[in-house]
Structure 1
Amino acid sequence: MITSQSNTTQWRKRQAALGFVRVEVQVRKEDASLVREIANALGDPARHDATRAILRQKITRSPSKSFKALLASAPLEGIELDRPSDFGREIDL
């Protein structure tokens, strides 16, 4: 006789083989059904791509630029970037 625990273990192994992982989250009671619907849509092959695209567009942050990229895209016209050479003051010995 197969126990309930071994059925669950086998089901989880099959899901892992398909690329699924178990995730536990805590949300407000009124958001629980929404989170379940999102999870179902991501798990459904017919809705997966569209759901993922919408979530990435609306929820995730755009990748931040590096400091070098920010400097390269900055409007630097009219700004003097050369510094005068200053060798300091003379010291009498």
Structure 2
Amino acid sequence: MRGEDVPLVRAVVAALADPDQASEARALLRRRFGPEPTRSLKDLLASAPLDDIDLTRPPDAGRGIDL
């Protein structure tokens, strides 16, 4: 950590410790530095451009097996 960052880090710690500022400080930090929200597989598939993709399969009776 650089020396010039020390006052800023102390101010952030103080804001997180202050009950009046804690929720706003956490929300601000999460928006800026938090992880990206994850999307479910269902959401990803729903947003996929499937207009030009043929999803039909020809009927397949399987392999013949001699018993």
- Give the structure-1-normalised TM-score: 0.52
Provide the rounded CA distance (Å) in 1 between the counterparts of 2:22 and 2:12. 10
Which of structures 1 and 2 has the bigger CA Rg? 1
**Can you list the C-alpha shifts for 1:15-34, whole angstroms capped at 9, x where unaligned?**
xxxxxxxxxxxx22221211
Residue 63 of structure 1: aligned partner: 37
Q: In structure 2, what is the Cα distance between the partners aligned to 1:56 and 1:30?
A: 23
Say how many residue pairs are matched.
61
| Cα root mean square deviation, aligned | 2.1
Of all paired residues, the percent bearing the same amino acid is 48
- TM-score normalised per structure 2: 0.67
| 1:13 alignment partner in structure 2 | none
Higher relative contact order (CA 8 A, sep 6+): 2
